[in-house]
Amino acid sequence: MSKLKTLINDLVIANRILANEDVVDAYGHVSVRHPDDPSRFFLARSLAPEFITPADIMEFTLDGVPVKKGGPSPYLERFIHGGIFEARPDVVAVVHAHAEDTLPFGLVETPMRPVIHSGSFIGAKVPVWDIADKFGDTNLLVANVEQGQDLAKTLGPNNVALMRGHGFACAARSLIEVVRMSVYLPRNARALSGAKQLGGAVKYLSQGEIDARNRGYSPYSVETWRAWHYWATKAGVGNMVTRPDTKVAVSKKPAKKSKTAKGKKK
Ligand code: MN
């Protein structure tokens, strides 16, 4: 399989995982930068992530214009992705989602910070972007290049920005990382909300602990890859999973994505 085809497959897997893990629903999306042309990125057409196949992936320039004219309708909020890719040459993959557990932290002064080990990758600082600060009364959607750039400015060098009353955007060096971060961000938010409800002082991960987690991280380590393989299989696309070092599909059988499989565990 060509490098590009493998990347498109990984982008499809990322879409399916985010849908299956309830990070996205009908809305929300994930993109990846073109490996040979940093001024372009791949993102699906306007379709719920759960339904996306390789045929639905479109190519865009950083200003959100589809490379192929006359194609299907793109996502309105593609400017989130272009804005971040433009501002952050180090970023390879971007997720935007509305995961409910993250929303309270965009509404109050209480900052989102990592409190669980798997939440460490969101980083010590999670800024909140309020579209109203610069654009006044809008429908809250990131609908043009200027709004995408403004969001990217708030994100700065961080991994995640919350979007007030809307959701979050997160950026990482690979699809595996951005998916992992997007799955654990709402879980970290739940743990933090739960701790706040119990009352008393909250113990956050220290900077030293965050650094120690980052030092031990490698996107294709056995441990990291185990989660990608697990989530993909659970989402019914285990047959699409390849490892970059082997290029061999590891799971020949498509996983049964059935309620019974989930039910059996209980
Ligand atoms: Mn949105």
Distance, CA 22 to ligand 1 centroid (Å)?
Answer: 15
Confidence of residue 266 (pLDDT cuts 50, 70, 90): very low
Domain-by-domain residue ranges, the chain?
Answer: 3-240
C-alpha closest to that of 159 among 192, 137, 182, 143: 182
Question: Looking at the annotation, which residues are catalytic?
Answer: 77
In this structure, how many other beta carbons lie within 10 angstroms of the beta carbon of residue 254? 12
Average pLDDT over residues 31-46: 98
What is the token pair recorded at 236? 């019914």
Distance, CA 86 to ligand 1 centroid (Å)?
Answer: 19
Distance, CA 210 to ligand 1 centroid (Å)?
Answer: 28
pTM: 0.91
pLDDT in tens, 148-160: 999 999 999 999 9
Fold of 3-240: L-fuculose-1-phosphate Aldolase (3.40.225)
Eight-state DSSP code of residue 55: G
Rounded to a whole number of angstroms, the distance between the first and last alpha carbons of the chain is: 38
Distance, CA 19 to ligand 1 centroid (Å)?
Answer: 15
Angle between helix 3-20 and 175-198 (nearest 10) = 20
